[in-house]
Each structure stands twice: as C-alpha cells, then as structure tokens.
Chains A and B, each alone.
Chain A
Amino acid sequence: MVSEQVDVAIIGGGPAGQLAATTAASAGQRTVLIELEPHVGGECVRRGTIPSKTLRETALAVSAFRAKSGGVVEVSLGTDVQLESLMRRKTEVIDAHHAFIADELRVCGVEVWHGRARFVSPRRLEVLSVTGQRRALEAKVVLIATGSRPRTPPEVPIDHEHVLDSDSILSMAWLPKSLTVLGSGVIASEYASVFAALGVAVTMIDRAARPVGFLDDDLTAAFLAAFTATGSRFVSGRKPVEVGWNGVDAVETRLDDGEVVRSEKLLCALGRVANVEGLGLEAAGLSTTARGLIAVDANLRTAVEHVYAVGDVIGPPSLASTSMEQGRRAVRHWLGLPVGPGPELIPAGVYTIPEMSSVGLTEAQARQQHGEVVVGRARFDRLARGQISAAPDGLLKLVCDGAGRTLVGVHVVGEGAAELVHLGQLAMSAKLPIDTFVDDIFNFPTLAEAYRVAALDIVRQRARSGRASAA
C-alpha cells in the first residue's frame, strides 16, 4: 500500500486534535486529522460537553425560574417526564457545532480522514475506514489525541439500563425519581447537580472529602451547600463495595460501612480510561503507564521524539480547555515556535449548578508557594445584579501574593462563573495590579462588579496591614 506523505498527522478530532490541526495547518503544514467518528468533535460534542450542557440549560431554567419568580410561580416537572423532551435543542446544537468545526478545519486547510488509525511503524499510520478500506500515510510528526471513555470498575456492573455510565446516562428514556452517582469529579458533580435541579433525589458517593477536589475550598463549599439544599446528599469518605439491580425496583449500592443506598438508576462516574487500544503503540516504540496513559514531558512529547500526546489520553484534568491548549502547545513546540504562557493560566470551568470556574492558584496552593497571601471576597448578595438575578449565593474570590498587589488566583462560583473568570485570567496574563479593578469602572448593575468589591476587600486589608506595620 502506497503511503501519502504528510507533515503532521493527528489521531483524534476532539478539542485537543482540532486545535493541534488548525495550528499546524495555519503554519503551512500539510495536516491530516484522522477521526474515528463520522464527525470531528470527539466525545465532547457527541456525548459529553454539548449534550449534557443542553440538558443543564433546561435544569438551570427550571431552578432559575423557581428562584427568580420568588416562589410566586410553582415550578415542578411531572412524574413521567421523558428525558429527551428536556433536551429538545440537542440535535440542533450538535449539528451547529459540527458544522462550525468542519468549517474551521476546511478554512485552515486541514484534511480530515474518517477511520481508525494505527501505527505500523514509528512514522507510518494505517487507516481503516468504516467500510473496510485501508489507506496509509507517513508523517513527520504524529499527535495522539484519542481521548478517553468512561471507566467501568469491576464492582459496578454497568448494563446501560439501570446502571449507567456518563455515555449512556443521557439516553435514558424517562427522568428517574432517584439517582445514585458514584464519584465526585467534574462529570459526577455536573450530572449530580443537573439531575438534582430537575427534582431527582440524588446521592453522590465518593471516597474524597469534597467534590471536585482540585478547586478552591470556598467554591466546593458553596456548591455543596446549593446541592444539599435541593434535598440531595453527598456521602463522602466512603466507597461502594457492591452494586447491583435488586431485580425489583432499585439499584442497591452497598458501601464499605455497610450502608445500602437505593435508587432507581445509578450513574458510575469513577474516572475515565485512555483510548489507546488498537493504536499499535508498540509499532511506534511506545508503551503506556501503569494507569494506561501515555507519558509525556512538559512539552507534551512522548518517549519517541516525533510523537506527541495531548488531551485525555495523557490523564487529568480532562477538560476541553486544557486539551485545546495542549494541542496548540504540542504543535508549536514541534515547529519551534514560541509556546506562550504556561498552562497555569488555563481556566477550568465546571458546569455544575451553580457553576464553578477557576484560574491560577487556589488559596491553599498560594499559601504553599507564597507563604502569606491576601484574599478578597465578593459575595453576589452584595451586588445589585446578584440581588436582581436572585443569585445571592455566588462568590468571587481573588487571591493575591503577600503584598496584596499581584493576582495569583481567581475563583468564581455562581451564575456566569465560567464567563466571569476570563476577566481575571486576562488581568493575570497582562500582570495588571489588583488596583486596576478598583480604579476602572464596569457596567452597572453587573456581576463583573464583584471584581471591584473583592479588590476593595484586598486594598482595605493591605491598608490595615500597612497601618499595623507603621504602628
């Protein structure tokens, strides 16, 4: 079989692969993107981010209407709600996103091959189409961006009927009354809070002490308060030892302390595994780590010089934003172009209800790195916009160095958190002093005013500490 010669071959068309492909093609490289599925976009578009956020919009509308109508209008869903009916716009959203991605790739000159790729030698890939045809290419550099799929632990018998994973949860025919969620990472917390907002009694179980452990404590505390206020429950510090459909009416989850949690359905969200099977890594001279991941260095390069790996296939945090940055960074590194600021300024957005977002260091990390830190907080109930929007439980937290002048972390929970964080991200990227938020005027009434309130909190602390030193 004759191989086509290309500059860059990218296996996998999720967020990491797309950014890698457009970066390479825009730099004049002949770039081929090989995607297993008919459309580029990855699990993120088909079964992850896009469909779950479409359901979340409905849940958000229900809970927001409940809050904003001040209890004047009673909002509740019936007992036999079809899940699909809560995601009416899903197909349109997915189609629009697929079209957008395809357009971007076309404009940049990326060639998309639909098929399953495997290494036959360190630079040669064979691609099997869904109809069984084979073609081959030889690339100067190969990026592996094949993503991940839900992990199925041996003690959790996933049948996609009663016991589901994050791929099958959204294809449930009817909205359940109760749901057990195993895990408390991003995916577990997002689904737990969305179903709780829709009126489902959710029990989230995890070994961790708090959900989404990589986020700042203040954020997860606010999230937990909102989650439990719906009547749902977070069971921390415990793990399931046995899960099974009781054959009657419930999935029963026996925990390590003997408690049995019963629910109509169960979602297993205990991590993800990298999609590396069938890639023929050994032919490329690669192997996986004990956790089944592909090991890379700081520049996303694997043990083989011309092979990079990006996105979920190298492990956490498995966020679309991080994966995109990794794809871009890997290609620029290969091309010898400046890679820009480090990954520490990539924001993390967690679409729970309320949503959480973060960039930079958490307060705990900042204390570890800087010793003293100054923290400013703005609760949304102090803002006119927070009161109007009936979103008083939101919080914006700014973390500064010990001098109280340089911003090292921004953390937001509440309405618009994933949008609000970008202002702080840009301030950190531009190294703006914290006083900028006090001196500049934002629109009124907006939630962005939280930056001014939190910055003022820092300035006041700085002044008090200055008086104390002077005294």
Chain B
Amino acid sequence: MYPPTFTRGLSALPERVERAFSAKVERLELELPVLPEASATILSETSKADWSAARVVEALKRDASLAAHLLRIANSPAFCGASPVASIQQAVTRLGASHLRQLAVVIACETRAFEARGFEAEVRAVFRHSLAVGLCAREIARQRRANVEAAFLAGLLHDLGWPVVVQGLAQVAAGEALARDAVLERAEALHAGLGGAVARAWKLPEAIAMAIVNHHQAEPPDDLTATVAFADVLALHGGGAQVTQEALSALPATRALNLYPDVVEGLAKQSPALWAEASQW
C-alpha cells in the first residue's frame, strides 16, 4: 500500500540484480512507459491553439480502451453536466482542450503507465494517491491564484517513476525472486528522478518534469514543486492518514508556499472531499 512501510535492515537485493539495476538507472536505460498513441495525439493536438475536435475523435476511435475510460470520466460527478454523455464526440465537446489534455494523461497512467506485475495493489494505490495529489495541487494553485493545469498534471505524475522502478527491477531480475521490501524501498528512493525522465519523454513542460524530480527535496526550489510536495502530504491527510494539521503547517513546502495556518486549515478540511473525488474517477 502507499506510502510503503519498510523493515529496515532486511531485503538486500541479490548483488547481480543490484549492480545491473544501478547501471541501468545511471545510464537511464530503464524502459520508460510509452504514452499511448491516442494519448500522445490528444496531448499534442490539444496543445495547439487551432486544435481540432475531429482529429481528437479520430484518435480516440483508434483506442477503444482510452475512449471507454474517457466516456466513464466524462460521466463522472466531476465532469457530468445536466445530461449524461453518450458518444465520444459529445465527450470531447464537453471536456474541452484543457480537460482532454489532463484526462489523456490520467488515462494513460491508469491503464498503461501504472502497471507492475506482482505489485498490482501497491501500484494501484500509488495511482489513486497520485490522482488525489493532482486534485489537491489544483486546489492549492487555485487558492494561490496560479494556473491550475500545470499543478494538476505535476501532482498527477509526481509518482510516475514508481512503477518504472518496480518494472525495471523485475526485468533485471529475470524471474529471480526479489524481497518485496527491497523493491519498494528502491521505488521510493528512485521514483522522483525517473518520473522526471518519463515526463520529459512525454514532452510535458519542463516545469512539470522539474517538479516531479524535486518533489522530495528538503527545500522545494520553486512554487510548482512546493505545490506538489504540499499536495503529496495533503492527499494523505485527505485519505485518512495520521497527518495532523500541525504537521502540514510544519512542512518546508508550506513555508515555501507561504501558507498561513488558516489557509492550511481550509485546505485540510477540503482534502477528504478531494480524496473521495479521486476515487470516483
């Protein structure tokens, strides 16, 4: 489950696996999840100022799984208007460029990127947490009168490196049994840098990649990183973890964002609803 708990002192990896995996990480030779073609098309198409709904619909028609997910989300409480959406065309129309862009990434994560054989429960938990972090980051940005789109994407993708590590270790191990704690420990240690690499491979804005890379830094170097770092803990609070408001106020990210106690209190109160919303996507 997320966040993982470790029993320190156990779970060393076999030396061959450790060496081979370290080399792959250093040379950035781990297999990064590829953005599904339809998601990539949506991402690039909707980033153009003169994007065409017709071209997006075409891309979705070629990816039934993505289209089905999109319809489900378009009909979720977060997006559903007065009447339910029945067609892809209608979903594209209702969601608009910005939401389509965000959802293309959400769905890519949910269906392709957050996959790791043998660790399905953990990776699923990481994805749900990531979605909650995206929603929390969006609210923090709104509160601070900053643009919400980059905050959502950075929050959503901040743990994208996590399944990359798990999958990478599995590949290197080639069937050899690995101690579960050892895998999770390395995922926790390496996910930020590798997540940044994935974001760059997906051609997302550099500010988002940097926020992913730096979200565990002791002192967040910029506002977007601080937003993700704060949202990371806020989402845990929203999910019922033992994170007090005092602990939220004491975070370096809270200081970096200059969030005063009353603002932290307001966000903390909002966080269970954001966690619940993430579960509905």
Q: Which of A131, A150, A177, A248 contacts B250 (CB 8 A)?
A: A131
A interface, size bucket: 35 or more
Cβ–Cβ < 8 Å partners of A174 in chain B: 47, 205
Measured CB to CB, the nearest residue on chain B to A176 is B49
Cβ–Cβ < 8 Å partners of A37 in chain B: 258
B167 within 8 Å of A (CB atoms): no
Q: Tell me the complex Cα distance, A414–B204, Å.
A: 37
B181 within 8 Å of A (CB atoms): no
Contact (Cβ within 8 A) A160 B145:
yes
Contact (Cβ within 8 A) B47 A80:
yes
Measured CB to CB, the nearest residue on chain B to A179 is B49
Contact (Cβ within 8 A) B258 A249:
no
Contact (Cβ within 8 A) B146 A160:
yes
Measured CB to CB, the nearest residue on chain A to B143 is A160
Q: Tell me the complex Cα distance, A175–B49, Å.
A: 8
Most chain-B Cβ atoms within 10 A of its Cβ — which of A79, A80, A171?
A171
B55 within 8 Å of A (CB atoms): no
- How many A-B pairs have beta carbons closer than 8 Å: the answer is 95
Which stretch from B60-68, B92-100, B106-114 is at the chain A interface? Answer: B92-100
Contact (Cβ within 8 A) B149 A161:
yes
Measured CB to CB, the nearest residue on chain B to A79 is B48
Contact (Cβ within 8 A) B258 A38:
yes
Q: Tell me the complex Cα distance, A177–B205, Å.
A: 17
Measured CB to CB, the nearest residue on chain B to A91 is B222
Q: Tell me the complex Cα distance, A36–B51, Å.
A: 42
Q: Tell me the complex Cα distance, A164–B222, Å.
A: 21
Q: Which of A36, A84, A245 contacts B206 (CB 8 A)?
A: A84
Chain A nearest CB from B250 CB (Å) reads 7
Q: Which residues of A contact B (CB under 8 A)?
A: 36-38, 79-80, 82, 84-85, 91, 116, 128, 130-132, 149-150, 159-162, 164-165, 167-168, 171-178, 245-249, 264
Q: Which residues of B contact A (CB under 8 A)?
A: 44, 47-51, 53, 81, 93-98, 141-142, 145-150, 153, 205-208, 222, 249-250, 254-256, 258-261
A-B contacts besides A131-B250, A171-B141, A249-B51, 16 pairs, CB < 8 Å: A37-B258, A82-B207, A91-B222, A130-B254, A130-B260, A132-B249, A159-B148, A165-B145, A168-B146, A171-B150, A172-B149, A173-B208, A246-B96, A247-B93, A249-B53, A249-B97
- The 5 lowest CB-CB distance pairs between A and B, nearest first, are A177-B49, A171-B147, A167-B145, A80-B47, A79-B48
